[in-house]
Amino acid sequence: MARILNIAAAQLGAIQKADNRDTVVQRMIVLADKAKAKGADFIVYPELALTTFFPRWYHENRADADVWFEHEMPNRATSPLFDCVKAHSMGMTFGYAERTLEGRHFNTSILVDKSGKIVGKYRKVHLPGHAEFDPQRTHQHLEKRYFEPGDLGFQVWRTMGGLFGMMICNDRRWPEAYRVMGLQGVEVITLGFNTPSYNSQKPDEGPEQRIFHHKLSLQAGAYQNSTWVVAVAKAGVEDGNPMFGCSVIVDPDGEIVAETRTEDDEVIVHPCDLDATKFGKETIFDFKRHRRIEHYGLITSRIGAEPPTE
């Protein structure tokens, strides 16, 4: 039995600080058209897909950063994208900076079904970087300044004929994120990312090692939870700041089955058999048969590492 879903990873190249949302949405529509032409049923866009990666910029007054946030979704700028993807009868996810009616700020991703309905929302839980300007760093990474940690947890939604979950960027480095969704039977995890090519605190850590860690995290998460993982970059050089591409589609065995070749707007599509997740879930990662939760208590009772005193 095969339950094939043709999934597109729609990588975006650089978005400059001066670029407006309408221009970006037009680029996303071109990618949707290309994905449809390649037979896609579902399209995954990057984290913070509508703007430049603004957490690299320090605003002394946090309210000044509100220009990067969306106050409703869909909205004037994004409605053409919703219309286009619905017309193609495709589902989609994309990330954006969310400002709620109460004035709260999240790094958010939404799950939209092929009727254009928003069926799921995720708010980034693992915020990397720092909250105050750090002169020691080669570049700033102020996600802890501009966003609250997500308050929606890691949910799984039944849509597009399968079980979908979402995470965002840094989440891919935390096995807990995959496992919470794995414990809900997830079959496809989508995530967008904006990852600087160099470590701001260790300049000799460049793209080669960063891409190694990126792939390692994704492949382990996919394999250990027998799920597809679709990771999509915003890449390229944004106002002088390089971010790597390497958008990938990883199968439930942890194999990379598709990968972008550029740091520009680029679409890759792969026929993902959702039933290919079954073997792992029924054998080596049959959680019910193999897990021993009586030994895992520290994972949720202890935040930081505490080595034994003697």
- Using an 8 Å Cβ cutoff, are 109 and 168 in contact? yes
Residue-wise DSSP of 200-212: TTBTT--HHHHHH
What is Dmax (Cα atoms) for the chain?
A: 65
Q: Among the candidate windows 83-91, 94-102, 166-174, 177-185, which touches ligand ING by CB under 6 A?
A: 166-174
Smallest distance, Å, CB 122 to ligand ING? 14
Comparison of 146 and 193: residue with beta carbon closer to ligand ING? 193
- Verify binding: residue 109, ligand ING, rule CB under 6 A: no
CA separation (Å) from 78 to 28, 96, 125, 159, 263? 10, 11, 24, 22, 23
Q: What is the DSSP letter of 150?
A: P
- Verify binding: residue 128, ligand ING, rule CB under 6 A: yes
Q: Which amino acid is at 221?
A: G
Distance CA 175, CA 173 (A): 6
Please identify which of the residues 36, 98, 124, 143 carries the catalytic annotation. Answer: 124
| Pair of tokens at residue 170 | 């840094």
Q: What distance, in Å, lies between the first and last C-alpha atoms of the chain?
A: 56
Q: Mark whether 169 is an active-site residue.
A: yes
Comparison of 109 and 170: residue with beta carbon closer to ligand ING? 170
Q: Among the candidate windows 36-44, 81-89, 190-198, 266-274, which touches ligand ING by CB under 6 A?
A: 190-198
Smallest distance, Å, CB 217 to ligand ING? 9
- Number of shown-chain residues binding ligand ING (CB under 6 A): 7
Q: Is the dihedral of CA 220, 235, 170, 178 positive or negative?
A: negative
Comparison of 169 and 248: residue with beta carbon closer to ligand ING? 169
| Given 112, 142, 169, 222, the residue binding ligand ING (CB under 6 A) | 169
Burial class (CB in 10 A: 0-12, 13-18, 19+), 89: exposed
- Verify binding: residue 193, ligand ING, rule CB under 6 A: yes
Smallest distance, Å, CB 173 to ligand ING? 6
- Using an 8 Å Cβ cutoff, are 253 and 218 in contact? no
Q: Mark whether 246 is an active-site residue.
A: no
CA separation (Å) from 265 to 24, 119, 189? 11, 26, 21
| Given 140, 159, 170, 277, the residue binding ligand ING (CB under 6 A) | 170
Q: What is the DSSP letter of 149?
A: P
Comparison of 213 and 278: residue with beta carbon closer to ligand ING? 213
Comparison of 177 and 269: residue with beta carbon closer to ligand ING? 177
- Verify binding: residue 78, ligand ING, rule CB under 6 A: no
Query: Where do contacts with ligand ING occur on this chain (CB under 6 A)?
Result: 128, 169-170, 173, 193-195
Active site residues: 47, 124, 169
